[in-house]
Structure formats: C-alpha cells, structure tokens
Amino acid sequence: MDPFELKREQLKLAPKILLNDAISKIKTIGGAACFPFENKLYACVVVCEYPSLKLLEKQTFILTNPLPYKPGFMAYREMPAIIEAYNKLEQEPDILIVSGHGVAHPRKIGLASHLGLALNVPTIGIGNKLLVGKVEQGKIHLRNEIVGFEVKTREYANSLYVSPGHLITLGSTLNFVKETIKFPHKLPEPLHLAKKIAKKEAKVEM
C-alpha cells in the first residue's frame, strides 16, 4: 500500500463528491461499522425504519487479513468489508451513517465519502476525533470552508465530529444525526446498532 499512490487516487476522486440532497423522502437510514479483532475485520451494516429507528435488517461480513491501518486511508482498510456486508442487504437504506469521516478529511474524502461514491448512496461520516481543521462555534473549518460539525450528544460524553460523505448537504447531515440519537446512546441509533452487532460477532469468534 503506497501512500503516495493512495493520495493521488483520493485527490482524483474528491472532486466527484457531491454535497447535495439526492433524496427528498427518507424512509430508511442505515449504519455501517467495523470492529477489528486479531487479523480480522468484522463489518456490519444495518437498516432502520425512519423516523421510528426500528431495526429492519442487519448483515455482516468478516474480512481476514485486511490492509494495515494508516491515518487518512481508513477506506482502503475497511471499505471492502463494509461493501460485502452492504451487498447482502435485501433493502438498501436511503441514507447510510458511517463510522468514519466524510469530507472532514485532509483530502476531503474519508471513509464515508469513499463509500458514498462506491455505492452511489447518500452517506454521513461520524468520527470520534477531529481529523483535520479547527472547530469554531461548533463548526469544523478547513481552509476557510465549513466541512462539518462538532456535536455533543450526551452531557458527559466526548463530542462527535460529523461531516457529509456524499449526496447530502451540511444542513441535512446535522439534522439527521440529531434526529437519530436515541437516549441513552451517544451515537446515532443505526450506527450504535451496527457497532454493537459487529462487536458481538467478534466475541462469538473468540
């Protein structure tokens, strides 16, 4: 995995990212996450009804010997496993919330943006840490542009760093994240379920 070549590919793909609302009526919202254990990645994709957030479907995939993690290149490690799980779905979600950054990324194409392009589905990225830029009044600024938001979903929990991935606007990204938080969980419910199921799958294998 040559970082120079991966950077070139990211810079080539980044202009294809569209921050517009591709779907007007949302009936389902999905979540996608990976849980690493030993030499495997346990990927899970769920689909929830919207706005009830009732779980409709879940699919998983285990990837053996994934590429090593490199900051800024998580898509190349996790995307193959997530796509395999996603392709098993009977019902594709209208929006997919991803455990990974969207355009709040050094080259404005994090895991959520990569997935959105690959699957042609609106995506939202959720990160636990600020990957790039600076936060001012709850907004993530990168090179004089707003690329996401710092969101606190629980009083004593660390903030989430939220950014659009593909085919969704900044405003819709923030609204859907806030609307899918289900107390007492910190994460949007579809993403909470996906991470929980992926972790459970890994524990079964232990």
Respond yes or no on whether the N-terminal peptide bond of residue 184 is cis (omega within 30° of 0): yes
Name which of 81, 44, 80, 79 is nearest 60 in CA terms: 44
Average pLDDT over residues 25-52: 96
Q: How far apart are CA 50 and CA 144, in angstroms?
A: 34
Name which of 29, 32, 33, 31 is nearest 49 in CA terms: 29
Burial of 139 (0-12, 13-18, 19+ CB in 10 A): middle
Token pair listed for 125: 């990225």
In this predicted model, what pLDDT tens digit does every residue of 61-111 receive, in sequence order? 999 999 998 889 999 999 999 999 999 999 999 999 999 999 999 999 999
Name which of 159, 135, 162, 134 is nearest 148 in CA terms: 162
* Average model confidence (pLDDT) across the chain: 95
The CATH code of the domain that includes 35 is 3.30.2170.10
Is a pLDDT exceeding 80 seen at residue 130? yes
Confidence of residue 156 (pLDDT cuts 50, 70, 90): confident
Q: How far apart are CA 132 and CA 143, in angstroms?
A: 10
Token pair listed for 156: 């004593």
3-state secondary structure of 152: coil
Confidence of residue 206 (pLDDT cuts 50, 70, 90): low
How many domains does the chain divide into? 1
Which domain range does residue 46 map to? 3-205
Burial of 197 (0-12, 13-18, 19+ CB in 10 A): buried
Is a pLDDT exceeding 80 seen at residue 1? no
pLDDT the model gives residue 24: 87
3-state secondary structure of 86: helix
Q: How far apart are CA 192 and CA 186, in angstroms?
A: 8
